[in-house]
């Protein structure tokens, strides 16, 4: 995943500017930084839930929203955008399961309708994933009958059901009661250990960030303040803004 000279404005509010970074295949990168620094916006741009104002994002070498053609910046049509984002899974802070569907239906929906899997294959795959996230018993429940941690584990299984090459995680534990945070992070750590899915993670769980990240990027006001391996960023941050931020969250 490559960001090149990315610019994002909401009206006259410039949220991201001159943003360049690459996430290699299989790499886990955590974004940290104060509220409003643009972390969620970055993930939403990758999902094409937000329109790029300037610059380019490539995923697996494929331009996502805009491409350069004859020296011009040309918008990529929605149909092609959707094809590229099929390989990207996202889990949000607020469990966004379909409330009127069972756990199992939530998971098989996209594999059947987007990827064209047979129902039998989708169900068997969903059962494997539910077992992996410790939710095998709950397949016929509705989301409202689950705890927040359980809903979030289903949301993770739903993202994985599409065999994503990239997983985007936006503060997936910050709406949870403290005693439910651990079970969700444990599932994510297992996935990080057992797969080579690239991950772009926003989290305030600094121990989790240390455990799973190859690299941590500190953001402020829409640009990268510093980046490096977690041991370096958390133990010897080079910038005062990073030190202030870490003191506030730790
Ligand atoms: N849909 C929108 N319309 C207008 N402004 C927006 C929109 N979404 C985000 N913004 C603005 O973009 C900036 C960055 O927001 P973003 O949600 O990316 O920050 P964040 O780093 O994820 O913050 P937090 O840690 O609080 O989640 C903020 O100033 C926010 O007000
Ligand atoms: Mg956010």
Task: Give the tens place of pLDDT for each residue, 66-110.
Answer: 999 999 999 999 999 999 999 999 998 887 899 999 999 999 999
Q: How far is the CA of 218 from the centre of ligand 2 (A)?
A: 14
Q: How far is the CA of 216 from the centre of ligand 1 (A)?
A: 20
Report, as an integer, the average pLDDT of 126-148: 94
pLDDT of residue 218: 96
Q: How far is the CA of 46 from the centre of ligand 1 (A)?
A: 15
- Percent of the chain past pLDDT 90, that is, above it, reads 92
Q: How far is the CA of 205 from the centre of ligand 1 (A)?
A: 20
pLDDT of residue 179: 87
What is the residue with the minimal CA distance to atom 30 of ligand 1? 36
Which ligand has the nearest atom to the CA of 219?
1
Report, as an integer, the average pLDDT of 191-196: 94
Q: How confident is the model at residue 12 (pLDDT cuts 50, 70, 90)?
A: very high
Please give the mean pLDDT across all residues of the chain: 94
Atom of ligand 1 nearest to the CA of 222: 14
Q: How far is the CA of 147 from the centre of ligand 2 (A)?
A: 22
Q: How confident is the model at residue 249 (pLDDT cuts 50, 70, 90)?
A: confident
pLDDT of residue 93: 86
Q: Find the Cα–Cα–Cα–Cα dihedral 88, 93, 95, 98, rounded to 10°.
A: -50
pLDDT of residue 69: 93
pLDDT of residue 138: 95
Q: What is the pLDDT of residues 153-187, one digit of tens each?
A: 999 999 999 999 999 999 999 888 888 899 899 99
What is the residue with the minimal CA distance to atom 25 of ligand 1? 35
Verify whether ligand 1 is closer than 6 Å to residue 15 (CB atom).
yes
Q: What is the pLDDT of residues 20-57, one digit of tens each?
A: 999 999 999 999 999 999 999 999 999 999 999 999 99
What is the residue with the minimal CA distance to atom 29 of ligand 1? 36
């Amino acid at each position: 995943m490559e960001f090149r000279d990315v610019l994002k404005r909401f009206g006259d509010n410039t949220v991201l500017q001159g943003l360049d970074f690459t996430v290699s295949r299989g790499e886990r990168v955590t974004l940290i930084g104060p509220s409003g620094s643009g972390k969620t916006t970055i993930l939403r741009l990758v999902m094409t839930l937000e329109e790029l104002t300037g610059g380019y994002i490539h995923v697996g070498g494929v331009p996502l929203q805009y491409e350069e053609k004859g020296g011009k910046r040309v918008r990529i049509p929605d149909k092609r955008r959707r094809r590229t984002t099929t390989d990207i899974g996202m889990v949000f802070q607020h469990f966004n399961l379909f409330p009127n569907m069972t756990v199992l239906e939530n998971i098989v929906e996209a594999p059947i309708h987007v990827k064209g899997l047979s129902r039998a294959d989708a169900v068997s795959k969903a059962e494997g994933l539910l077992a992996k996230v410790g939710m095998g018993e709950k397949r016929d429940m509705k989301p409202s009958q689950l705890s927040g941690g359980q809903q979030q584990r289903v949301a993770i299984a739903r993202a994985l059901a599409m065999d994503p090459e990239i997983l985007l995680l936006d503060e997936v534990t910050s709406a949870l009661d403290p005693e439910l945070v651990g079970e969700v992070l444990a599932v994510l750590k297992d996935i990080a250990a057992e797969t080579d899915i690239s991950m772009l993670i926003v989290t305030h769980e600094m121990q989790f960030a240390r455990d799973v990240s190859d690299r941590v990027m500190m953001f402020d006001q829409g640009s990268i303040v510093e980046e490096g391996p977690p041991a370096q960023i958390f133990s010897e941050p080079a910038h005062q803004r990073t030190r202030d931020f870490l003191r506030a969250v730790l």
